Amino acid sequence: MKNRQIIIYIAVGFIILSLLLAFYFFLKKPDRISSPLLDEEKRVIIFKDVRYFGEREGIIDWELTAKIAKKFIDRPEVELERLEGRYKPKAGVTVAFKGIKGTMDIEKEKGVVEDVDILYKGEYSLKSPSMSFDFKNNITSTTSAVDVKGKKLTLRGIGLTANMRDETVRIEKDITGHIDTEKAGFNFQSDAFFYNLKDNTYILDGKVVLKGQDMNMLCDKLYIFSKNQDPERIDAKGRVRLLSKGTIAKSEKAVYYFNEDKVVFTESPRIFKDNVEMIGESVVYSISSGRFSIQRPKMRMEK
């Protein structure tokens, strides 16, 4: 009987000791370190050769393809690598683009593409380190530098907003570029740049400088009108100044006709050369000959 009680006491003591040891080690156990890779695998699904698209009234108006896509399961976001895309802001207009990588919110139809290269209607290419796309509202924008190249026009600037519903493009600042005509080429610079796609008009705004081989023109705002990508004429407005071969022409408005190779100054035009000021109703400057002609001239000699 005593042996039996001893065995029971020993067993009970062993159980109590085991519980105490277990409780001790439970309190002292190290914190478990979770693996970021495992957490990432739980919330991301990786796909290869994927395609996303959006449609309105049964017509696909944008699509993206990518070699690799990481789809987050806890939010409607996709990370894309080596992607290409296109969207149709209006009937008959397709904008194609590609980039190294980007992100896309599938529900909002918004995304950002890095190292982007855009091709508009096969006429203009645009490159930028980063570009945001809002497919629902047809808006493309960036605060980064942009480099635009066309058949007749090239330019660089910083910051862009393209509203394809209004068919307008604005580059915000630090504009420099070059424009070619049949007879000459011109370098230009300005504070800002605006492009109206509907009537194919470029606008240089703020501290505009236009430089050709034999002339420099300065003004507040410059309108460049084109037809089939060929510049037809330039309208310069606000404090217009033209310098050519020692002659200075001033007015509030001037029109440069590329085909006729002449500049017509109106609104208080005047010419300064060799201490002589000539004023008239209008002044015409011939680019090829470098000569000025004045309608109803008045002359004033400086002492």
Domain boundaries along the sequence of the chain: 150-303
User: Cβ distance 99 to 117 under 8 Å?
Assistant: yes
| Tokens coding 29 | 């156990």
Of 218, 179, 173, 174, nearest to 202 by C-alpha is: 179
In sequence order, what are the residues at sequence separation of 6 or more whose Cβ sits closer than 8 angstroms to the Cβ of residue 179? 152, 153, 185, 186, 188, 224, 231
Q: What was the pLDDT predicted at 302?
A: 53
169: Cα separation from own chain's centroid:
9
Question: Is 80:63 a contact under the CB 8 Å cutoff?
Answer: no
Amino acid in the structure at residue 152: K
Question: Tokens 């942009």, residue?
Answer: 146
Distance CA 156, CA 128 (A): 10
User: What beta strand segments (E) does 14-56 contain?
Assistant: 44-56
Q: Which of the residues in the chain have pLDDT under 70?
A: 1-42, 57-58, 229, 297-303
The letter for the amino acid at 210 is L
Task: Kindly state the percentage of the chain with pLDDT values over 90.
Answer: 28
Contact of 190 with 204, CB cutoff 8 Å: yes
Q: What is the pTM of this model?
A: 0.75
Q: Render pLDDT for 122-171 as a digit per residue (tens, 0 to 9).
A: 778 999 999 998 988 889 999 999 999 988 889 999 999 999 888 899 99
Among 225, 226, 249, 224, smallest CA distance to 239 is for: 249
Pairing between β-strand 247-257 and β-strand 270-273 as defined by DSSP bridges? antiparallel
Query: Rounded distance, CA 250 to CA 39, Å?
Result: 70
Please tell me the predicted confidence (pLDDT) of residue 177.
94
CA of 230: how far to CAs of 18, 148, 150, 167, 258, in Å?
A: 93, 16, 11, 19, 10
pLDDT of the residue at 131: 93
User: pLDDT at position 167, please?
Assistant: 85
Q: How far is it, in rounded angstroms, from Cα 193 to Cα 177?
A: 10
Residues 6+ apart with CB under 8 A from 178: 153, 154, 155, 185, 186, 187, 188
With beta carbons less than 8 A apart as the criterion, state whether 264 and 280 touch.
no
* Domain boundaries 150-303, corresponding CATH code: 2.60.450.10
Strand 282-286 relative to strand 262-266, pairing: antiparallel
Longest CA pairwise span in the chain (Å): 142
Element (H, E) at 173: strand 168-180
Q: Output the six-digit token pair for 141.
A: 């924008």
